[in-house]
Amino acid sequence: MSKIIGIDLGTTNSVVAIMEAGSPKVIHNSEGTNTTPSVVVPDQNLVGIPAKRQQIVNPKNTIFSIKRLMGRKYTDPEVQELKKTLPYEIVATPNGLAGVEVEGKVYTPQEISAKILAKLKAEAEKFTGTTITDAVITVPRLF
Amino acid sequence: MKENKETKLKIEQLEKKAEELENNWKRALADYKNLEKRVEEDRENWVLFANEGLIKKLLPIADNLEKLAEHFNDKGADLIVKELRNVLQEFGVEEIKTDGSEFDPMKMEAIEMVKGERNKVVETISKGYMLKDKLIRPAVVKVGNGETLNN
């Protein structure tokens, strides 16, 4: 019987946990910490702490706080405000929503978040030794 | 007739209960198996990394001692540093090679970009260490930005 994991997809950090004998247990990542920074380098498939470690030398391609763009239109005043402060390129995706451009390729916030979720799922699979097929993901308060 | 209906309902209820209990039992069994496996893993890690906490605390002292030896240029101090390094090595601590090598975010943390060959480590601020293939402290480095030193 496959386990269902619970993921807190945060703006800054994300956490994955499973229920074990009736109580939740946080799964630590391969770097040994309970929380994984929600930082992604999409073209190198770096997620979490390693992505954060190279942020300074690779600011244009290191995506963080992607949740703030999630579901927002490119023309949204908040997106335009973020565009002024964030080091990476914010662009409009074909459907008018905000996305990010890394090394000439456009990613939607969903694609970036998917890389974080995939990493957490992989950590959970390593921890439980099973294939995880179901997950519960937190819904942000402001959505 | 009425009794029959009641019995049927009772059977349904009991079947549902049995199914629920079986599921719970399976879940508990799976949890137990996982726990067993993890205890085994933890035990192995315990043996391998029991010293990690202590070593992590000793590393900054080793750093300072090294700096001190460098500063004093004293044979005795050099010997102490060498001795300490040997002890750390004996326990499986390995220094991460940084100077001149490619920046590797899996083992190094970049704090600044400076003039130098692109994506190469120009300067090491603090050394990084591995303990038996596990990163216990990333090296803190300055990385080249692609500009040459001349311009």
* Residue in chain A lying closest to B135 (CA): A31
In Å, how far is A80's CA from the nearest CA of chain B?
Answer: 28
- Note whether B140 contacts A: Cβ–Cβ < 8 A: no
ipTM surpasses cut 0.95: no
Q: Above 60 in pLDDT, residue B47?
A: yes
Say yes or no for a CB contact (<8 Å) between A51 and B109.
no
The domain ranges of chain B are: 1-50, 54-91, 94-151
From chain B, the residues in CB contact with A126 under 8 A are none
Say yes or no for a CB contact (<8 Å) between B103 and A31.
no
Residue B49: which pLDDT band, with cuts at 50, 70 and 90?
A: confident
Is the distance from CB of A95 to CB of A48 less than 8 angstroms? no
Q: Above 70 in pLDDT, residue B131?
A: yes
User: In which residue ranges of chain A is pLDDT below 70?
Assistant: 1, 140-143
Report pLDDT for B150. Answer: 57
SS3 A17: strand
Is the distance from CB of A123 to CB of A18 less than 8 angstroms? no
Report pLDDT for A119. Answer: 95
Q: A121-126: long-range contacts at Cβ-Cβ below 8 A with a sequence spacing of 24 or more? A: A121/A5, A121/A16, A123/A16, A123/A27, A123/A28, A123/A29, A123/A30, A123/A36, A124/A3, A124/A5, A124/A16, A124/A18, A124/A27, A126/A30
* Residue in chain A lying closest to B137 (CA): A31
Q: Above 70 in pLDDT, residue B1?
A: no
Q: What is the DSSP letter of A11?
A: S
Query: Which among A5, A53, A119 is the top mutation candidate for probing chain B, defined by the most B β-carbons within 10 Å of its own β-carbon?
Result: A53
Give residue-wise pLDDT tens across range A2-42: 789 999 999 999 999 998 878 899 999 988 899 999 999 99
From chain B, the residues in CB contact with A51 under 8 A are 105
Name the residue type at position B151: N
Q: Within 10 A of A7 (CB to CB), how many other CB atoms are there? A: 18
Buried residues in B14-50 as b, exposed as e (16+ CB within 10 A): eeeeeeeeeeeeebeebbeebeeeeeeeeeeeeeebe
Measured between alpha carbons, how far is residue B70 from residues A113, B67, B80, B85 in Å?
A: 47, 5, 12, 15
Average pLDDT over residues B122-148: 90
Pairing of strands B139-144, B108-114: parallel
Give residue-wise pLDDT tens across range B56-96: 999 999 999 988 988 888 888 899 999 999 999 999 999 99
Dihedral angle sign, alpha carbons of residues A84, B146, B94, B139: negative
The superfamily in CATH containing domain B94-151 is Head domain of nucleotide exchange factor GrpE (2.30.22.10)
Say yes or no for a CB contact (<8 Å) between B30 and A31.
no
